[in-house]
Structures are given as structure tokens and as C-alpha cells.
Amino acid sequence: MKRLKAKNLKEQNYIDIVKLLKIGNYSRADLAYNLELSKASISVLVEDLINMGIVYEKCGGQSSSLGGKKPILLDINKNIGYFLAVHFRRELCHIAIVNLENEIVYEYKMEAVINKDYKITFNPIIKKIKDIMSKHKDKKIFSLGISVPGKTGKKNNLLIDCMGIPEWKNIPLKEYIEKNINIEVIIDRYACAMLTYNILEEMKKYMPIQTSSVYVYLSNWLGVSVSNNGKILYGTHDTAANYSHTIVTDSNYICSCGKKGCWESVASIKAFMKELQNKSDKYKDLTFDDIITNYKNDEMVIDTYKNFLAYWVSIGIYNIVNTFDPEIIFIGGEMLYLGNDFINEIKNNIKNKFNSYNFLTEIKIIENFKKIEIHAAASIAIYDFYNNSLYKHISAK
């Protein structure tokens, strides 16, 4: 096993201290105990972090039952630096500046005009990003996180594809944006961004994270992301957890990928609308928004989402549970607008109808998923900061 060099070990100690302070306020003695380091070593490391500006002495803690001097507690300077976030959703682009605690200090929404040439689409977005950076010169921007509705290559840094834009194949989007704004860009797919957001929320409770979790996005397309011990699973070829295109039926349902029987072909909003429209001409020219607004209580609509859509959604989620045995599954997406009866049908199917053993996985519905999408994009950059680039940024101050 390759041993850490002294410099790398010191950098890791800095990172561990900052991660631990993300949970709460600790004294130097608390840090030494939790990280199993000597008090002298912690004192030196903390002094370095204070001089760098990332940690500060907050206030005195509570004395022990024996009395004595109150311990000095430490906290993270959440405004030591900032991150740009871009949530790109084809026709919509949401841009924000956030601090280290993912609190929005500025945001802007703009329409995106899709062109076959990705550069033409992103040039106005890049221009706006540069305008925002110019107006906020007083804020040190560490990096930019961008979430996209498609597949990304973490090793080759390419946007492999983008949902609904067939011309965008293996495009160097990261490189193109970086060249124009001169800061590091980290790109990830939407489902991974949403799960990363929840990982950062878990980091506020305990460290290290020693559980697995899954995020499932239910909409016109399905997205799945899986984490283990606080790290997203990408796989050898960046295709891990691609459950939307696993085969769940031998029927003739055709997926957008061209295959028959994919989970997405029977468990997406598109599949639901197709099934509903095949049942009655009443729904032929309606959109999913029309159904939610005016027809959600129709008997045929209820029957279709309970006995068709919820059934197939449950099949896929149950397969995910059996594969990864996660502690928690987060579920978000426009499909949730069908309401509590739809959600409860899924939960009942997974826990009771399909289950043959003691079901332990918690299912958490993310009803405010729209509100956290921009925070999820920011989480891509913040997570990278905590785990990969913290020392690089703070030592340069």
C-alpha cells in the first residue's frame, strides 16, 4: 500500500478538522479526541487554519461538572470563499453564488435557447456568469458546480449526452466553460448532484459517513444515483446505477433509447401519459400538467397511476434496494405531483407487496426538490472543496 507523504498527511488532517467542524463547534481538546491526534499537533493545525482564515474561535463552551476554565470552541468561516452554481435544465438555466454553507447570496434565472452547437447555447450563459463575477469582485470564487440532465464522464470530463438534445455527444463542456471564466468547473449529472446535496446534509450530523444512500428522480426520464460511505458510485465507465435502462419487462414497451422493456419505458411520465391516452381519447391532446391541474381525480387517471405507473416504479426501486441495501432512498421529481395516494401506493408495494423479508430501508420523499436543485448544483463544487481542493484554496490565501 502506498503510504501518505508527510505533506499529504498534514493536508488530510486539515480536511478532517474542517469536516468535523461542519458537524458542530468543537474545542481543540474535542478535535484531538475525535481525530486521535495529540493536543500539541491539533494546536499547530488549528493555528494554521485560523491564520488561513477558514477557522475562527467562536465562543467559550460549557465548563465540566468539576468547574474550571471554559473551553474555546471553534467554527468554520462560511464566507472564506464562494462557489458558483449552474442548474442547467435545457430551457431554463438557474445561476447562483453560494457560500461554504450553501447559502445563496445571489441568484439569477434565464432562459436557455437550445442549439445543435452547444457553444451557441452556452455562450449567453457564460456571458452572464462573467457579468455576475464582475459585479461580485469582492467575493473569492473557488469553483463552479453545474448539474446537467444527462450523462457525464468523470474521467474524461466530457458531457457524454444530454437528455432531449441528441446532437450533444461527448462534448468538452467543462473545458469550454473553464477557458472562458478562468475558474475550475465541476460537472455532474442531475441525480448525482441531488444525492451530493443530501450527502453534505449528512456531513452536518456525523463524520465519517458510513452508510449508503440512493437518489431516484421520477419524471419524463428516470435518474438514479448511489452513494456508499459518502462517495458517489460512478463505476469504471461512469455508468454505475444506470437503472433507467435495466430491463424489467419482456413486453413491447419501447424506451427512448430504442430498447424494449427498459424501466424508463414503463415507469416514466411519458409511459404514464401513453398508457392513459391509449385508454381514452379524452386524454389524447393533454399534457401531464393538464392532468395534474384538471384531471388528477378522474377514476381512470387514478387507476392508471396506481395499477400501472406506481407498480412499475415500485419494481425498479425494489430492485435498487435488493442490489445496494441502502439505509435511505430519496425520491424526487415531477411525478410526485400525482399526490399522496400515488406515493403511498409505491411505499406499500415496496414494503408489503413485493417484500419477503424485514424491510429496513427508509424511503424519504423530497417534496421540495425544485427548491434545492440550485443547491444541488452548488453541492458538486462544495463537496469537491471539502474532499479534494480545500488545502489548495485556503493555502493560497
Domain boundaries, the chain: 9-76, 82-190+372-395, 196-369
Common-topology check for domains 82-190+372-395 and 196-369: yes
Top mean-pLDDT range of 8-12, 55-59, 128-132, 368-372: 128-132
Q: pLDDT at residue 253 above 60?
A: yes
The pLDDT-based confidence of 88 (bands split at 50, 70, 90) is very high
pTM: 0.89
Residue in 270, 294, 187, 175 with CA at minimum distance from that of residue 221: 270
The domain 9-76 is classified under which CATH number: 3.40.50.2300, 1.10.1030.10, 2.40.160.40, 1.10.10.10? 1.10.10.10
The 10s digit of each residue's pLDDT in 90-147 is 889 999 999 999 999 999 999 999 999 999 999 999 999 999 999 999 999 999 999 9
Q: For residue 4, give the 3-state DSSP assignment.
A: coil
**Angstrom distances, CA of residue 48 to CA of 60, 272, 354, 389:** 20, 57, 55, 17
The 10s digit of each residue's pLDDT in 289-331 is 999 999 999 999 999 999 999 999 999 999 998 899 999 999 9
What is the CATH number that goes with domain 196-369?
Answer: 3.30.420.40
Yes or no: say if 108 and 128 are a contact pair by the CB < 8 Å rule. Answer: yes
The 10s digit of each residue's pLDDT in 181-225 is 999 999 999 999 999 999 999 888 877 777 899 999 999 999 999
Residue in 162, 132, 126 with CA at minimum distance from that of residue 147: 162
What is the CATH number that goes with domain 82-190+372-395?
Answer: 3.30.420.40
CA atoms within 13 A on the CB side of 72: 8
The pLDDT-based confidence of 71 (bands split at 50, 70, 90) is confident
Strands 82-89 and 141-148, by their bridges, are parallel
Q: Across the beta sheet with 231-232, what order do the strands follow?
A: 231-232, 222-228, 212-218, 328-332, 362-365
Q: Which of 269 and 54 is assigned the larger pLDDT?
A: 269
Q: pLDDT at residue 343 above 50?
A: yes
Q: Output the pLDDT for position 64.
A: 47
